[in-house]
Amino acid sequence: MLSRRRFLQHLGTALAAAPVASSLLASRSLPDGFTTLRRGVGTFRSRGGTIGWLVRDGALVVVDTQSPKTAPTCWSGLRDRTDQALDFVINTHHHGDHTGGNGVFAKHTDRIIAHANVPTLMRQSADEGEADA
């Protein structure tokens, strides 16, 4: 059994090492590409972002769209999985790494679903120079 003193020493060492360990773990990212999680649900990872997808009988849904540079690769990979039309895209929030590829997916659906404030927040971010062209 650890004495109180040894416990506090171990705890102090662990707390001192936490920022270093956290940054090392954060730098280890999963490989780019498609991952099927289960029952037609999966992710597409590229350039630090993730697009969620659902392919089921008669349905294709995309969650967040990453960027205009990576979204075409995701769309192409989804075409390899299904010929189902894209039912809709869900944007979880207005940040560019979640909405940047909307233009790519908008060519394949007329329904992009998000909170009512998302379009206004996207415009504000663009006006403030926070959005890429």
What number of CA atoms fall less than 13 Å from residue 58's CA on the CB side? 0
pLDDT tens, residue by residue, 75-121: 999 999 999 999 999 999 888 888 989 999 999 999 999 999 988 98
Same domain, 76 and 96: yes
Q: Would you state the pLDDT for residue 49? A: 85
Q: Would you state the pLDDT for residue 15? A: 64
Same domain, 22 and 7: yes
Same domain, 50 and 97: yes
What is the distance between the alpha carbons of residues 112 and 26, in angstroms, rounded to a whole number?
31
Same domain, 110 and 47: yes
Q: Is residue 74 pLDDT above 60, yes or no?
A: yes
Same domain, 24 and 37: no
Q: Would you state the pLDDT for residue 89? A: 95
User: Among 94, 110, 100, 56, which Cα is nearest to 78's?
Assistant: 56
Range of the domain at 5: 1-29
Count of domains observed in the chain = 2
Strands (E) in the chain, as ranges, are 33-38, 41-46, 49-56, 59-63, 88-90, 112-113
pLDDT tens, residue by residue, 11-64: 667 766 666 555 554 444 456 799 999 999 999 999 868 999 999 988 999 999
What is the distance between the alpha carbons of residues 50 and 70, in angstroms, rounded to a whole number?
10
Q: Would you state the pLDDT for residue 52? A: 94
